[in-house]
Amino acid sequence: MNAELKKKFESYPDEVRPILMEIRKLILDVAKDEDIEEIIETLKWGEPSYITAGGSAVRFDWKKKNPDQFAVYFNCKTVLVETFREVYGDLFRFEGNRAIVFGLTENVPEKQLKHCISMSLRYKTLKNIPMLGA
C-alpha cells in the first residue's frame, strides 16, 4: 500500500476503517484467486481504486454525508451493475448503474460480492459474453 493510500485509510473513522480494510482484502483475494498477475492499487477521485489490465476498475469509499453506509463502485459505462442486478436481484442495494451500497452494520454477502468484483476485474475478457458469463 502506497503512502497516499495508507493516509486515506487512516482518515476513515475507527469504526469504518476495519470494514473498508476487509473490502480491500476481498478485492486483493479475488485478484489472487483469478490469477491476475498485476493489480494496481491507487486513489482515483480520492477513493481506493483497484485496476487490472484486463478489467474495469473497482473502487470503494465511505462518505461523511452518508455516515451509516459505504459503497463499492464500478464503471457506470459498463453493463456490470446491470448484470449484478440481473444475477443477484434484491440481494444487493444498488445506486444507479455505478455502485453496490452497504450499511455499516449489515453482513456483506462475501461470496456474491467477490463474484461481482471478479467480473469487474476481468471485464475486458467477459464483456462480449452474455451476462458476462455469470
Structural domains of the chain, ranges and CATH numbers in brackets: 3-133 (3.90.1150.200)
1 pLDDT more than 80: no
Q: For the segment 83-96, what is each residue's pLDDT rounded down to a tens digit? A: 999 999 889 999 98
- pLDDT value at residue 134: 60
State CA 37 to chain mean position distance. 18
Confidence of residue 11 (pLDDT cuts 50, 70, 90): very high
pLDDT for residue 133 is more than 70: no
Please count the other Cβ atoms lying within 10 Å of the Cβ belonging to residue 52. Answer: 20
How many beta carbons lie within 10 A of that of residue 77, not counting itself?
9
Task: Give the Cα separation of 54 and 105 in Å (integer).
Answer: 33
CA distance 31 to 8: 22
